[in-house]
């Protein structure tokens, strides 16, 4: 980041407009700056301009799918170390552990997932990397009551055991 007072910026690449707004709102509540785009090419161009602290990308987005985006990022040293989470509705079709290793992902999150859990994972990861995050309470001049709960990327990366059609939710790739 270029400024000590600027909040770290999270880039969200999600083509579903409702889910994109939910993720934007939930992550922004942590005190982080959030930018959200609807396609991979726009997200890639934004990454190239710099100052992105964390990336959340959907697996299936228009113009440059999540895997293609992650491959492109690996070829550019200036952005290759941006921590990332891949979100997907593909469930058992993907090898989450292989994807985490291949792209150095923080997690592969299977939809539906908790936007709050994603927010906590982002904050936890950035703090572990030494990024100073001003919580909404500290921004208002107060001391935060408690940090986000600790969560493990391995808990978020496993697909659910079983889902019935009524519990799948409305957010899909």
pLDDT at 7: 86
- HSE-CB at 51 with a 13 A cutoff on CA atoms is 13
pLDDT at 136: 59
- HSE-CB at 137 with a 13 A cutoff on CA atoms is 7
Residue 6, pLDDT > 90, answer no
Q: Is the peptide bond before 112 cis (omega within 30 degrees of 0)?
A: yes
The C-alpha atoms of residue 149 and residue 40 are separated, in whole angstroms, by 30
Question: What would the pLDDT profile of 134-169 be if each residue is shown by its tens digit?
Answer: 765 544 443 343 344 444 444 444 443 333 333 333
Q: Which residue has the higher pLDDT, 1 or 49?
A: 49
Q: What pTM does this model have?
A: 0.76
DSSP H or E segment with residue 87: strand 84-88
Between 5-14, 18-27, 58-67, the lowest mean confidence (pLDDT) is in 5-14
Question: What would the pLDDT profile of 78-126 be if each residue is shown by its tens digit?
Answer: 999 999 999 998 776 778 899 999 999 999 999 989 999 999 999 999 9
Q: Which residue has the higher pLDDT, 28 or 146?
A: 28
Question: What would the pLDDT profile of 50-78 be if each residue is shown by its tens digit?
Answer: 999 999 999 999 999 999 999 999 999 99
């Amino acid at each position: 980041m270029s400024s000590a007072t600027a909040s770290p910026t999270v880039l969200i690449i999600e083509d579903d407009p409702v889910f994109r707004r939910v993720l934007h709102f939930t992550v922004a509540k942590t005190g982080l700056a959030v930018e959200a785009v609807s396609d991979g090419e726009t997200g890639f161009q934004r990454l190239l301009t710099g100052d992105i602290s964390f990336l959340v990308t959907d697996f299936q987005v228009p113009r440059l799918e999540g895997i293609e985006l992650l491959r492109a990022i690996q070829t550019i040293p200036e952005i290759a170390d941006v921590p990332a989470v891949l979100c997907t509705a593909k469930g058992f079709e993907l090898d989450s552990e292989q994807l985490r290793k291949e792209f150095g992902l923080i997690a592969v999150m299977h939809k539906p997932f908790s936007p709050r859990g994603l927010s906590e994972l982002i904050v936890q990861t950035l703090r572990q990397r030494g990024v100073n995050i001003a919580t909404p309470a500290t921004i208002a001049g107060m001391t935060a009551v408690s940090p986000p709960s600790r969560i493990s990327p391995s808990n978020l990366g496993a697909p659910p055991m079983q889902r019935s059609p009524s519990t799948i939710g409305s957010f899909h790739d």
